[in-house]
Amino acid sequence: MVTFAVGRLKIEDCRLFSCLFVCFLLCQFRIFERISVLFQMDEFPLIKWIRNRKKKSNAVVCGIGDDCAVINTGKNTLCLITTDMLVEGTHFDLNKYNASEVGRKAIACSISDIASMGCKPSVAVISLCFPHGTKNSFAKRLYAGIWEIADKYDIDIVGGDIISGEGPFCINVTLLGKNEGLMPVYRSGAKAGDKILVTGRLGGSLLGKHMFFEPRLDEGIALNKNFTVHAMIDISDGLTADLNHILEESGVGAVLFEDKIPVSDDALKISKKTGKTPIHHAFSDGEDYELLAVLSKTQAEKVLTSDLFHGLEISCIGEIVEDKGLWLRDGKGKLRRIRPKGYKHC
């Protein structure tokens, strides 16, 4: 109990009161911190909430829940729509990369979405928010990178919006694609017994690949044209996170083969700095922008022996199973359940 002497607080009591007051503030902060965590935005639950509250019209073949929306524009012609926003400090660092490189990446991300549907990009609109005081020379260098990759893949830039603001530099690309007689490949067609294939090598993208990757557009179209692909996605959030999107949309599970995962040299390098295993980085780093495709065993074998991919490494890394969930099988055949991990945008 705090006591008083001659109208003044004793020194010992002052110390006690101070300690109690600090403890009170810490408790209040901890409670606030926990409440704040509860109310923090979470990307995928938010998307699910939006999706559950929006009905599709008859023209919408595929809405929220895939790499692209697909709209029937009549006479069996389908329009694919994808959009990506990149923010300075989150998706790129202007202290490390120049404006041209940022412009290139912004378009490449959206091309990768169209590639994962096995279709062809056509036109794009680009919206930009420049920090106040940005020079025209920066914008021109940005567009040099945009035009470089857009021209390579026959994409016309047909509009957009330009504003300035107090925040960091932001670029948003909305890319439209066309099916040209092909049916888009969705996330929702995986079946038990299917094999899981992946292009290229995975992990360690922060060492450069996240900026300088080449969208697997030719490979996506080749897969769609020449094989029966049950499901496909590009690896932007991370192998296990993006595979989980296919599993959720298809209502199935999967087993990954640990000794078959194509781990990149960059994943090995970055693991020495982080102390995490190379396989951890291959599973969860994201921004590899490789294709993850699910096909029947027969079709997968044809892909693996095909000469259509010009020497690109393609690996069979697992199989689809009936039981929902994700498992990892080690080299000795032991199974353990794993949680999907990857990059979260918010």
Reading the block at residue 156, the tokens are 């016309």
Question: Which pLDDT value is given to residue 10?
Answer: 47
CA 270 to chain centre: 20
DSSP single-letter state for residue 13: H
Neighbours of 76 (CB within 10 A): 9
Is 289 flagged in the annotation as binding? Answer: no
Is 143 flagged in the annotation as binding? Answer: yes
Is 237 flagged in the annotation as binding? Answer: yes
Question: 151, 147, 95: which is closest to 126 by C-alpha?
Answer: 147
DSSP single-letter state for residue 59: T
Query: If one looks up domain 195-337 in CATH, what number appears?
Result: 3.90.650.10
Is 307 flagged in the annotation as binding? Answer: no
Measured distance CA(324)–CA(330) in Å, rounded: 19
Question: Which pLDDT value is given to residue 343?
Answer: 66
Is 83 flagged in the annotation as binding? Answer: yes
Question: Which pLDDT value is given to residue 15?
Answer: 53
Please, are residues 201 and 285 in contact by the beta-carbon 8 Å criterion? no
Burial status of residue 308 (CB atoms within 10 A of its CB: 0-12, 13-18, 19 or more):
middle
User: Taken in order 190, 195, 199, 203, is the CA torsion positive or negative?
Assistant: positive
Is 53 flagged in the annotation as binding? Answer: no
Supply φ then ψ for residue 184, to 5 degrees.
-60, 150
Full-model pTM? 0.85
Supply φ then ψ for residue 278, to 5 degrees.
-55, -35
Reading the block at residue 15, the tokens are 């110390």
Reading the block at residue 5, the tokens are 């002497």
Is 234 flagged in the annotation as binding? Answer: yes
DSSP string, 61-126: EE-TTSSSEEEE-STT-EEEEEEEEEEBTTTB-TTTS-HHHHHHHHHHHHHHHHHHTT-EEEEEEE
Is 160 flagged in the annotation as binding? Answer: yes
Is 134 flagged in the annotation as binding? Answer: no
Measured distance CA(327)–CA(334) in Å, rounded: 10
For 82-103, the pLDDT digits (tens) are: 999 999 998 999 999 999 999 9
Is 194 flagged in the annotation as binding? Answer: no
Is 165 flagged in the annotation as binding? Answer: no
Measured distance CA(39)–CA(44) in Å, rounded: 14
Domain boundaries, the chain: 4-39, 58-178, 195-337
Measured distance CA(64)–CA(275) in Å, rounded: 37
Is 288 flagged in the annotation as binding? Answer: no
Give the CATH fold of the 58-178 domain. Answer: 60s Ribosomal Protein L30; Chain: A; (3.30.1330)
Helix or strand (DSSP H, E) at 161: strand 156-165
Measured distance CA(227)–CA(51) in Å, rounded: 31
Provide the edge-to-edge strand list for the sheet that holds 335-337.
229-234, 291-295, 195-199, 314-321, 253-257, 325-329, 335-337
**90-111 b/e (C-beta count within 10 Å ≥ 16 → b):** ebbeeeebebbbbbbbbbbbbb
258 Cβ contact list (under 8 Å, min separation 6): 279, 328, 329, 330, 331
3-state SS record for 260-283? HCCECHHHHHHHHHHCCCHHHHHH
pLDDT under 70 in the chain at which residues? 1-44, 51, 54-55, 343-346
Is 112 flagged in the annotation as binding? Answer: no
Please, are residues 106 and 171 in contact by the beta-carbon 8 Å criterion? yes
